[in-house]
Structure formats: C-alpha cells, structure tokens
Amino acid sequence: MSKIRKVAVAGGGIIGIATAYFLRRAGLDVVLFDQAKLGAGCSHGNCGYISPSHIFPLCTPKALKLGMKAMWQSNGPLRIRPGLNLSLWKWLFQFAGHCNQRDMLAIGHARHAILDSARELYQQIIEEHALDCNFQAKGCLFVYADEAAFVEQAVQIDLMRKEYGVEFSSLVGPELESFEPALIPGSAYGAYFYPQDAHVRPDRLINSWVRVLRELGVEIREDCRFEHFLAEGNTVRGLQTSQGVLDADTVVVAMGALTPFLNQQLGFQVPIQPGKGYSITMSCPAICPERPMIFEQDKVAVTPMQSAWRIGSTMELAGYNSTLNRSRLELLRRGATRYLREPFGPTVEEEWFGWRPMTPDGKAIIDFSPRYQNVMIAAGHNMLGLSMATATGKLVSELLTGSTPHIDPTPFQYPRKQRAARKQSRN
Ligand SMILES: Cc1cc2nc3c(=O)[nH]c(=O)nc-3n(C[C@H](O)[C@H](O)[C@H](O)COP(=O)(O)OP(=O)(O)OC[C@H]3O[C@@H](n4cnc5c(N)ncnc54)[C@H](O)[C@@H]3O)c2cc1C
C-alpha cells in the first residue's frame, strides 16, 4: 500500500473508537463516523466486562448438544430460530464444524493473546487519559448453583490453567458467602474467581474516550450513514455517505453485527450473525455485590458499576430481530433473583437489547477485504468486543502502517483455513 494520508473508520462502536484512537496516535488523519450516535449500537448496554478469563469460544465440544436443545426450547438463555434464514443455517453448520477440542484450543490461543493485550492496554489508556468510566479491577466470579456443574467445570478450568496459564481460585460454600455477602446463603455451591478481570461502565467509557479523540484531532461525524465505496479498480478513493462524499485513502469497516450488509461491496460473505442479548440497568441496590458475577447455569451476568447496577446476557440467534422481548428480560430478572439477596435497585434506568457480532469460530475478523487493497475489516468480536477493543485498534493501526504487529494477526485473517493452507504450501 502507498503512504496513508487519511483513514475513514465506518462504525463508531467500541471497535471503531479504539481503532480511531490508535490510528490517530500513529500520526494519521482520521475521520470516525456512525449512522447513529457514537456508541449507540451493541457497545452501549453490554455488561462492561474486560475479561481475559473468557478464553474459550462458544464452539466447544459440549456446545453441539446445547445448540440442538436450544432449537426446541421456547425461552432458554440460548435460543436458536433459523427458520428460512439460509445465512444463519450456513453459520450454524460452520459453528458445528468448530465444536471439537482441537479447534477450541487453537481458537483459545488466539483469543488469549488478544484478550491479554487488550486488558493491559485498557489499564494504560484509562490511566493516561483519566477516562471517567467506573473502571474497577476487582476480578470476576463464575458462580455455580450445584456441585455437579461446579465439578464438571473444573476440567475446563484446569485446561485453561495448563494451556494458557490463567490464574484462578475456587471458593466453596461459606468461603464463597463470606467473599461475596450479597449472595443468598446456600444459593450457590461454589465459584471460580478470576482476579485478572476488570469492568467498566461501557457508555461512560465511550463518552469519555470520544472526548479524548476530539482533543487528539479525530474528526467525528454522527448520523452519517455509509452508503458505498467510491473506487477505481481495487482501490477505494472515498466513500459515499448520507452526508455526501467522504474523502479517504484508507477505510476501516467496524460496523459490528451490521457488517454483512456490505457483503456485496466487500466482495465476500462476511460470516457474522447477530447474537441478540439483553440488559437491564438500574440504580444500585443497598446490598450490592462487590464485583461482577456470572451465574453460569442461568447464563445471567451482573455488574456493579458504581454509578449503576446492570443485569445482562442471554443469546438469541434469530436474524436481525429488533423487538424488545419482555420474556427475555424476565429471564434475566429470574436468574438474578435465584442468587442475590437484593437483585434489583430501586429505579430502572434502561431496558436494552444489542446484536453481538457473532462469527462461527468465535474469532474476530481483522484483515484487508479481498476486493479492495485499502479497505480493512475489524468486526465480529462476538461476546467480547469491549474486552478485545484496545488490542484490535492497535493491531489495525500496525497492519495499516506496516509496523510489526504486537500479536499474531494470522488467526484473525479471513478466510481462515485457506490462508493457513496457502501458508503451509509456501513453506
Ligand atoms: C447483553 C450483552 C452483554 C455483553 N457484555 C459484554 C461484556 O461484558 N464484555 C465484552 O467484552 N463484550 C460484551 N458484549 C459484546 C460487545 O457488546 C460487542 O462485542 C461489541 O459491542 C461490538 O462492538 P462493535 O464496535 O463491533 O459493534 P457496535 O457497538 O454495534 O458498533 C457498530 C457501529 O456501526 C454502526 N453502523 C452500522 N452500519 C453503519 C453504516 N451503514 N454507516 C455508518 N455506521 C454504521 C452502528 O450504528 C454501530 O454504532 C455484550 C453484548 C451484549 C448484547
């Protein structure tokens, strides 16, 4: 690629914001634009976990059975309704192909590298710019209601320790209750504690970080919709947007779960499906947990954010459905009620859903588009876009400026296997 002058970042979620930050820090002119307000997509109401502990993808050997069950359950935490949606069927088959131990471990290595780097970068960026985002480094508890589930999980956790060196501790019965007194005594058999995890309030992080971007000189455009590329051959010269032509010699597409709407323009079928999840944000209850907890058997996550209390999660694979389904919100309330002495705060601030950008193998796509040599895609961060954003932004900036990548970019290239095969045949 010739020398870059100006980069347009399409999509102002947490991935676009982190990307704009690192590109600007690398000395480039950057315009970051979004069809709505910055951070109003999936990055708005998520659970706020910055979680290096979330190494394994959804596609584990056990996931196939769970997935089949979810096709028939009417309102389980995981709900799958492919109907006549061919792209979702294709995605599900690809997902099934990854549900084996070998893929799970290899994917885990890629996720481990990006998650660890991102956690460290967050600490640096938040400190350097004094970002007002309720950042707390208090770890995360994975809580199990019964002994059988707790013991079954021990195998997986031991694997994480051996394969990736992840630190954790186990807490059982009274030990757990004194560690987290907000739990109802006897509601949980035990928990695994990951001390390296941290959390933020995502909307505050975004507001605060966007202020820094403005100060650094990033041009920001809201209510500006990407319409199409203006190209000559395999080189994009600019973009047509709802606010007119945007001049840029390099483009980063960071449109999260909406990235597949550019399939034809990007020249490939972006393998992303929307994975719908919900959250409820309230004022803090009087008996508020000290740290985030995931009630694993109910698939409900809770986050004490200093300025708010959030209950979130559930996963629905059913296309771009935009109704706020009250029975899904009720699942969250039920899950929290099962474990917490005071599950709800006095005032509900927001009931929300977001579309997670889900790929079949649980890895993001961070790569040049096959059609245009100056268009990069940074999307498909699954359930961990917040946790992976800083390292993604840094990697995009390194790939565009030709510096040595700080993590191996190969696992995030697309297509995956073909590239690996090509590389092997070259060696
Ligand atoms: C309930 C729930 C809980 C979650 N909890 C966590 C968590 O605790 N930790 C974690 O790491 N992750 C979590 N996630 C996942 C995380 O929220 C996502 O992975 C992340 O927000 C994806 O970021 P993104 O920037 O790729 O997408 P988005 O935030 O969706 O941003 C994409 C942006 O692109 C814009 N856009 C789309 N089309 C166009 C267009 N044509 N023109 C211009 N702009 C366009 C959209 O308006 C949007 O703002 C959770 C998700 C959910 C649903």
pLDDT digits over 184-220, tens only? 999 999 999 999 999 999 999 999 999 999 999 999 9
DSSP structural state of residue 300:
E
The residue whose C-alpha atom lies closest to atom 27 belonging to ligand 1 is 256
The alpha-carbon radius of gyration of the chain (Å, integer) is 21
Length of the chain equals 427
Give the model's confidence band at 427: pLDDT under 50 very low, under 70 low, under 90 confident, else very high: very low
Q: DSSP characters for 45-70?
A: SS--EE-TT--S-S--TTHHHHHHHH
CA 422 centroid distance within chain: 29
Using pLDDT thresholds of 50, 70 and 90, give the confidence band for residue 423.
very low
Give me 187's structure tokens: 């509601």
Q: Which residues face 304 on adjacent strands?
A: 309
Is 3.50.50.60 the CATH classification of the domain at 6-426?
Answer: yes
Best residue among 205, 258, 316, 387 to mutate for probing ligand 1's pocket (most ligand atoms within 8 Å of CB) is 258
Question: Which residue is it, tokens 């935009």?
Answer: 322
A 10 A CB-CB count for 268 gives 16
Amino acid at 183: L
Q: Show me where the domains of the chain are located.
A: 6-426
Closest by alpha carbon to 55, among 419, 314, 298, 382?
Answer: 382
Q: Is the pLDDT of residue 33 over 80?
A: yes
Query: Of 220, 241, 356, which is best to mutate to test ligand 1, by the most ligand atoms within 8 angstroms of its C-beta?
Result: 356
Ligand 1 center from residue 299 Cα (angstroms): 20
Question: Alpha-carbon distance 381 to 206, whole Å?
Answer: 17
Residue 109's contacts (CB-CB under 8 Å, 6 or more residues apart) are 163, 164, 411
CA distance 192 to 48: 19
Residues contacting ligand 1 via CB (< 6 Å): 10-16, 34-36, 40-43, 46-49, 225-226, 254-258, 277-279, 312-313, 354, 356-357, 379, 381, 383-387
What's the pTM? 0.97
